[in-house]
Each structure stands twice: as structure tokens, then as C-alpha cells.
Amino acid sequence: MTVEVRTVDLPDAADEVGERGDRFRRHHAFATRVSDARYAPGAFDLRPDERLAAWASSPSERHVRLEAVDGDRLLGAADLWLPLSESTDVLDVGTASDPELEAAQARDVHRALVAHVLALADAQGRTVVMGGSPGLASAPPGSALVAAATGFGAADPSDPEAAPLVEAGFALEQVYRVSLVDLDALPDLPERLAAARERSAGYRVLAWEGPTPPEHRSAIRGLHERMSTDAPVGDLALEPETWSDERLAAFEEQKARGGRTIRTVAAATADGELVGFSRLFAGDSDVARQHDTLVVREHRGHGLGMLLKLANLAELAAHHPHHRRVSTWNAEENRPMLATNEAVGFAPIAYEAVWQRRQREEQP
């Protein structure tokens, strides 16, 4: 097996006729197969146009798709994200290999992808590279597993995806838990929502579909900014984000491309200040995707996290009844969010390890 790595030129439309379109559709099918094998069948299904939107660059992030091929055979792929507004020394990459490959072959594919990515990072002046591999909930004492620097979660350093990262000097920083909730298992959602409203008496819940209404834009920008400082990221070199009106509009436009809908719920105090929000994306598959959830520090511990999660699930059930499940990603050390999600009914389906490599200082 030979492995050649090259950049993929994405088409303007998912149904574009010709070579670019054909290559994209191959990559779409490949990404679906990888995701089904890694998580759960259908858990992260996207329609081709939703996928193309998810792979689009934006003013705050440049995306590059790589492929690893042996002649005509697609062996692996990588998605590179280069932040453009802050964390501009960072390159974040996710690599994938054909689930049919034997472990040794998969390792060769990941090794070739990682080598290509590191050369690209060098050329782009990105001194911090973050990469992923399958993770585990914990490392039993005495095992050969590597524990995350956060103290929560672990990874197997001999895993075909992890091994090339270890060889290249990456350190395991953080582990994320991937969970799903099944709405059919929550027949008492209305009663639980009513109880949550009672517990958070003194706050109102606002809900909307699509872009943020003008009167709430400033508050939602602020909540997105807090998300970048308050959600735990361990020692990952991510800087606080600044959200302008243009950034919020570009984010909402991009997330809605390909036919997806953003559903937002926000918690307001009696005088109308927004102190928390939760957003999710509804699409075509049966699994909606949880996005940001945050309650500002001063208002935590009043059940607002739970209220917002339940309220958005109720909105989803009312407006997108074909969505029977919701997926979410949480840092394994994020007990407040995990406590809420576990109580809602989310159950783990996988763990994702996040590795980081800082370019070594030049020796004098």
C-alpha cells in the first residue's frame, strides 16, 4: 500500500456535476461510514449539502480537507481548521481512516496525514497543533493507557490514530464524552419542564428559531464570548473570542446553510437581561446536535442549565418531530454540564481524546 496525501478542492454545490462534485460525494460517503463506525449508526448523519456547509470556511476559520489515497482508493482524510480571529497560532485537525483497514495500515495512513499536517502547520506559521483520537472514560491504575492532563479521561497510545500523534510529540490534554438522548425515552418531558420552571421561578425562557432577533444580538454575542472563557478547555492554547455583530451573523448564516435550523432558548431575569442560553441545530437526520449551553457565573446553581436544556428539547419536539435523538459533546471534567445532561437522560456513546503539540523552542 502506498499513501499519497493531497488537498481536496471542494465544489460550490453538493450536486455539482464533474470531478470536484464526484470527489466531494465520495468524501461525504466516506465521512458517513467513518462516523457510523466510530460513534453509532446514524448518530452524526448529514445530508450532502449539510456536510458541504459544515466543511465551509468562514471569516473566523479556514477549513482545509485532505485525502490520503492509494491510486483510486480513498484510505483516509483529514479536516484542518485554522482559526483566523484569535488563536491564530493554532491548527486543529481531525484525521480519519477507512474503518475496513487493518490496524497497521490505518496507522500508516494516520502517520502520513499527521506528517503532512505538521509540514503544513510549519508553512503556515501555526506553532500549536491539536489532533484527535478515540478516547476512554478513564485509565485504570497500572494500565498502559495515557491519562489526560485534566485528570479526566484517557486514551490508548497504541491506537492507530493516537500512535502517530504520540510519535510526533503530542500530549494528551483533554477527553470529551459524546452522548445521545432519546426523546422517546422522555415521555414526562412536559412535567419535568414544568418542575424546572418552578425551580427557576424569577426567570423567563425566551425561544426562537433561526438568526438572533436584533434586540437580543448584543446579549447573545456576549454569551458566545463567555462560552469561549467559561467552558473548560484544559491546557489547550485557545484564546478568548470576541464576537462582533458580523461574526454572529456569519456564524448563524453558515450553520443554517444546507437547510439546517438553529433553535435557541435563553433565560431572562425579571428585568429582561439574558443570563443564559442553549442552542441546537435541527437538520434532516433523526439526530439533532446540541451546540453551546451557558449560564453566566452570577446566575449558576438555580437550575437554569437544566431549564434551558429541557426547554430546547421541548421546542425541538414541538417544531421538528422527526428528530428523535439529540447528540452532545462535553469535556469529561465538566461536572456541572455532565450532571445536568445525565439528569436529562443523555448517555455516553463514545469518548474523544484531544492531543496538543507545541512547536519546540529553537535551541540557541
Q: Check residue 334 for interaction with ligand COA (CB under 6 A).
A: yes
Structural element, H or E, at residue 221:
helix 217-230
Quick one: which segment of 38-46, 157-165, 237-245, 301-309 binds ligand COA (CB under 6 A)? 301-309
The one among 295, 310, 311, 313 contacting ligand COA by CB under 6 A:
295
Candidate residues 300, 320, 324, 358; the one interacting with ligand COA per rule CB under 6 A: 300
Element (H, E) at 163: helix 162-167
Place of cell 491510486: 71
* Residue span binding ligand COA (CB under 6 A) among the ranges 99-107, 311-319, 331-339, 353-361: 331-339
Interaction pattern, residues 335-364, with ligand COA; x per rule: CB under 6 A: xxx-xx------------------------
Give the whole-angstrom CA distance, residue 41 versus residue 263: 24
Task: Return all residues near 4 (Cβ < 8 A) that are at least 6 apart.
Answer: 68, 69, 70
Residue 145: Cβ within 10 Å count: 19
**How many Å apart are CA 261 and CA 243, to the nearest integer?**
21
Handedness of CA 75, 331, 281, 318 (dihedral sign): positive
Task: Say how many residues touch ligand COA, by CB under 6 A.
Answer: 19
Question: CA-CA distance, 316 to 75, in Å (whole number)?
Answer: 37
Contact 104, 111 (CB under 8 A): no
Q: How far is the CB of 131 from ligand COA (least distance, A)?
A: 20
CB atoms within 10 A of CB 125: 10
Select from 187, 185, 184, 205 the least CA-distant residue to 305: 205
User: Binding mask 14-43 vs ligand COA (x if CB under 6 A, - otherwise)?
Assistant: ------------------------------
Q: What is the dihedral of CA 158, 45, 208, 256, to 10 degrees?
A: 100
Question: Count H helices, E strands: the chain?
Answer: 9, 14
* 134, β-bridge pairs: 352
What mask of x and - would describe binding to ligand COA in positions 48 to 67, judged by CB under 6 A? --------------------
Instruction: Determine contact, residues 267/299, Cβ cutoff 8 Å.
Output: yes
Residue 17: how many CA atoms within 13 Å on its side-chain side? 0
Q: How far is the CB of 307 from ligand COA (least distance, A)?
A: 7
Query: Binding to ligand COA (CB under 6 A): which residues in 214-233?
Result: 230-231
Backbone angles phi, psi at 193, to 5 degrees: -65, -40
Shortest Å distance, C-beta 209 to ligand COA:
21
Residue number with CB closer to ligand COA (61 or 230): 230
Tell me: does residue 150 bind ligand COA (CB under 6 A): no
Residue 324 near ligand COA by CB under 6 A = no
CA 202, 205, 206, 212 dihedral sign is positive
Q: Using CB under 6 A, pick the residue from 68, 303, 333, 354 that binds ligand COA.
A: 303
Q: Does 306 help bind ligand COA (rule: CB under 6 A)?
A: yes
* 77 counts as binding ligand COA under rule CB under 6 A: no
Among 135, 164, 258, 305, binds ligand COA (CB under 6 A): 305
Rounded distance between C-alpha atoms, residue 340 and residue 328, angstroms: 12
Among residues 34, 46, 304, 344, the one that binds ligand COA under rule CB under 6 A: 304
**C-beta closer to ligand COA: residue 48 or 305:** 305
153 touching ligand COA, by CB under 6 A: no
Q: Between residues 5 and 227, which has the closer beta carbon with respect to ligand COA?
A: 227
Our finding on whether 301 is near ligand COA (CB under 6 A) is yes
Least distance (Å) between residue 353 CB and ligand COA: 16
Question: How far, in Å, CA of 36 to CA of 18, rounded?
Answer: 27
Where on the chain is the footprint of ligand COA (CB under 6 A)?
230-231, 293-295, 300-306, 330, 334-337, 339-340
